[in-house]
Structure 1
Amino acid sequence: MIETVARRTLRGGRPSRGKAQEPVERILETATRLFASRGFAGTSIDQVATLCGAGKDTIYRRFPSKVALFEAVVEHARARALAQVPDLTAIDGEPLERLERLLRMFLAINMEPDLVSLKRITFSEAVVFERSNPVLAQPDPLMARLVEAVAAAQASGALSPGGTDALAAHLIHALVSIPTTDAMLGGAAYATPDALEAHFTTTWEWLLRGVSARGNG
């Protein structure tokens, strides 16, 4: 494959951006599967090269170490997550309904097995990475969309005004971080669709209505 691309380059100039990206995509997709299934220590550059059909030299030119490859895998996962979330204007419904749907999307994305595995690796290999990895936090573009959705719900009168950023952070923690952390630590409390739905529905109602019994009767 690499030799074929080289011959095309000699005949017709540099390969297109799409063609040039193909080996990188293949490397990242293969590395994602290996890291997710075998962990950081159980994955080697040799294994990635063998399974994706790229030479080790090709991989090392783009990713100088296994840590660099893992970080690229994390960035690739973030980009994939962002691509799954539409702009707020593309989500149907009233502002509060759009906020709820956006949070449900975040939950579904963060419960994807590969992303859960990448988070688990990052926590377990914190000493190796020597710094917090982007996979640990909700990607900034996604948080920006959540903050936008919260602000829209506040402007409509569906949510109390003020503290938009803090409210967005609490929503993501209560609705998304709790089940994904449980999954990352090997728990099974939210392993079924019914359990995940029950968590979201109950927590969402608590957050909207409050849990105090005062004035209810």
Structure 2
Amino acid sequence: MASENVRTRTRVGRPPKAKQDAAAKRIIEAATALFASRGFAGTSMEQVASHCGAGKDTVYRRYPSKVALFEAVVEHAHQCATAKLEKMPAASGNSLERLRSLMLELLHVNMEPELIALKRITFSEAVVFEKNGPIPPQPDPIMVKLIEAVGEAQDVGAIGAGDATEIAHHLIHCMVALPTAAAMMGSNEFDSRRNIEAHFDRTWYWLINGVSGETI
């Protein structure tokens, strides 16, 4: 009888992994929604616990501080963005068209409201973080995918020779950084899919065809 009681205590002492994973997911989803809507300063660990139906001690056991929780939220958001790009259907057309499709999807992913809100917090609350805010894991799988696409376009001469990594970063800067920065500052210039894609089409044309009116 005593051994049976020991087995019972062992079974109920620690939730199964699936249950733990589900609890962690609820915490991250609740924290994401609160950080995005209320900002970093306006969100407390207690609010996160209440929002997801978990005990405060449960939240603190997983994330010992609000900074640690925010970093976990940013990491989760990056994982979700990566997953979306991985699930993209194979683009038709040549290597340049495939690169264009990848860049456009990357732009749309980065313009999602929750990601914009998290980026705004990362920059506005940089003093709170020890290391310039949370950063994606390295090597960043999104950049790896983009660099590979640039290399494929170079292989067939659709893009000129050069360091594929530098070109990929330049594409990110031109195609993604401007609208995301504007959105972070509260601009409504890119508040619709139509406006986002108009920016993309203009910038892509200039990058691929050049802006000079003269033949060199």
Is the structural similarity TM-score above 0.5? yes
TM-score, normalised relative to structure 2: 0.89
Q: 5+ unaligned residues in a row in structure 2: which ranges?
A: 1-7
2:173 corresponding residue in structure 1: 173
Q: Residues of 2 paired with 1:30 and 1:120: CA distance?
A: 18
2:83 corresponding residue in structure 1: 83
Rg: which structure is higher?
Answer: 2
2:184 corresponding residue in structure 1: 184
2:156 corresponding residue in structure 1: 156
1:204 corresponding residue in structure 2: 204
1:5 corresponding residue in structure 2: none
What amino acid sits opposite 1:215 in the alignment? T
CA contact (8 A) 1:91 1:98 kept: yes
Q: Residues of 2 paired with 1:14 and 1:137: CA distance?
A: 30
TM-score, normalised relative to structure 1: 0.89
What amino acid sits opposite 1:108 in the alignment? H
CA contact (8 A) 1:87 1:145 kept: no
Relative to 1, partners in 2 of residues 1:88 and 1:38: Cα closer, same or farther, differing over 3 Å?
Answer: closer
Q: Residues of 2 paired with 1:196 and 1:137: CA distance?
A: 27
Q: Residues of 1 paired with 2:67 and 2:177: CA distance?
A: 25
Q: Percent identity?
A: 54
Aligned residues: 209
1:69 corresponding residue in structure 2: 69
What amino acid sits opposite 2:109 in the alignment? I
Report the RMSD for the aligned CA atoms in angstroms: 2.4
Q: Residues of 2 paired with 1:202 and 1:183: CA distance?
A: 18
Q: How does 1:1-217 map to 2 (within 5 A)?
A: 10-11=10-11, 15-86=15-86, 90-134=90-134, 140-215=140-215
Pick which of 45-54 and 14-23 moved more. Answer: 14-23
Alpha-carbon displacement from aligned partner over 1:47-80 (angstroms, at most 9, x marks no partner): 1111100001000000000111101100110111
Q: Residues of 1 paired with 2:172 and 2:101: CA distance?
A: 13
Q: Residues of 1 paired with 2:72 and 2:137: CA distance?
A: 16
1:91: Cα distance to partner?
Answer: 3.4
What amino acid sits opposite 1:25 in the alignment? K
What amino acid sits opposite 2:51 in the alignment? L
Question: Secondary structure of 1:152's match?
Answer: helix
Pick which of 134-143 and 179-188 moved more. Answer: 134-143
Relative to 1, partners in 2 of residues 1:148 and 1:9: Cα closer, same or farther, differing over 3 Å?
Answer: farther
1:9: Cα distance to partner?
Answer: 8.2
1:93: Cα distance to partner?
Answer: 2.6
Q: 5+ unaligned residues in a row in structure 1: which ranges?
A: 1-7
